[in-house]
Amino acid sequence: MVSFCLGEGAHQGPTEFQVGVDYEGGCGVAADDLWLDDAVLESSAPDECPMPGEVLNGELTINDVGWEIDHAELGLIDLDFAAQGGSVNWFFPTDPTCSASVGFRGKLSVPLPSTMANPAIRFVQPPLGGELEMEVRILHVEGEGAPLAKAGNDFCLGSGVAGSTVDFLVELGYVSGGSSCGPAGGLAGQFQSFEIVDQSACG
């Protein structure tokens, strides 16, 4: 059984939805059939879907709710919120390679323009610049969207996802700009307090 969260826009009348499947079989291997049966509209379980204008478990207080690790390439990421006092911890160890990245996924519900004119994601983030780079992307059925535009330290959600509940990806990368590839002694930090705000600069 698979469920999908509907956003605020689904309360405005008939709603179309799209179901997609990724197939990773080898060449010459017949794809399995996709069957869709017993599609029903029902109330979500507790802590399953974010309310309109909210990030699910945005304060990072409940383990295993709303967040998952996307990747950790030569870096470490920890989603044990309870042990860390409500934060996502990341770490890039001293390493002979010249780049590393970590990424994690969350879920949010973008409000309609009538509720919030210019929604953006805001969260406590590490100081960027130099060798640290960060991107936030919306995840679609077809794959990752383009990096969200920034307004100050906020990330503009745009009109294309208004009224929808979507997954998003936060990716932090380390790219050495000097002759020494690994950060001396390693590099560590935290993400905290994810929320949706009305950011006028996103208009």
The CATH number of whichever domain residue 80 belongs to comes to 2.60.120
In this prediction, residue 73 carries a pLDDT of 87
Asked, for residue 170, whether it belongs to a domain, the answer is yes
| DSSP classification of residue 51 | P
- The residues, ordered by sequence, that sit 6+ positions from 80 with a Cβ below 8 Å of its Cβ are 63
**pLDDT tens, position by position, 55-94:** 999 999 998 899 999 999 888 899 999 888 899 999 887 6
Confidence bin at 36 (pLDDT 50/70/90): confident
Q: Domain count for the chain, please give it.
A: 1
Asked, for residue 21, whether it belongs to a domain, the answer is yes
Asked, for residue 45, whether it belongs to a domain, the answer is yes
Confidence bin at 155 (pLDDT 50/70/90): very high
pLDDT at 13 over 80: no
- For residue 90, which amino acid is it? W
pLDDT at 26 over 80: no
Buried-state track 24-47, b at ≥16 Cβ within 10 A, e below 16: eeeeeeeeeeeeeeeeeeeeeeee
Asked, for residue 1, whether it belongs to a domain, the answer is no
Q: How far is CA 62 from the centre of its chain?
A: 17
Asked, for residue 60, whether it belongs to a domain, the answer is yes
Closest CA to 112 of 12, 191, 15: 12
Asked, for residue 2, whether it belongs to a domain, the answer is no
Average pLDDT over residues 116-140: 88
In this prediction, residue 183 carries a pLDDT of 61
In this prediction, residue 3 carries a pLDDT of 81
Structure tokens at 159: 């009109």
pLDDT at 23 over 80: no
Q: What is the Cα–Cα distance from 197 to 190, expressed in whole angstroms?
A: 20
Asked, for residue 26, whether it belongs to a domain, the answer is yes
pTM score, two decimals?
0.84
Q: What count of other Cβ atoms lies within 10 Å of the Cβ of residue 142?
A: 8
- The residues, ordered by sequence, that sit 6+ positions from 83 with a Cβ below 8 Å of its Cβ are none
Average pLDDT over residues 146-155: 94
Is residue 199 a contact partner of residue 151, using CB atoms and an 8 Å limit? yes
Is residue 51 a contact partner of residue 36, using CB atoms and an 8 Å limit? no
Structure tokens at 183: 């950060």
Buried-state track 129-141, b at ≥16 Cβ within 10 A, e below 16: eebbebbbbbbee
Asked, for residue 3, whether it belongs to a domain, the answer is no
Structure tokens at 44: 């979500």
In this prediction, residue 198 carries a pLDDT of 97
pLDDT at 170 over 80: yes
**pLDDT tens, position by position, 100-127:** 899 999 999 999 999 999 999 999 987 7
Tokens 């997609």, residue? Answer: 20
User: Could you tell me the residue range of the domain that residue 151 belongs to?
Assistant: 8-202
In this prediction, residue 93 carries a pLDDT of 79
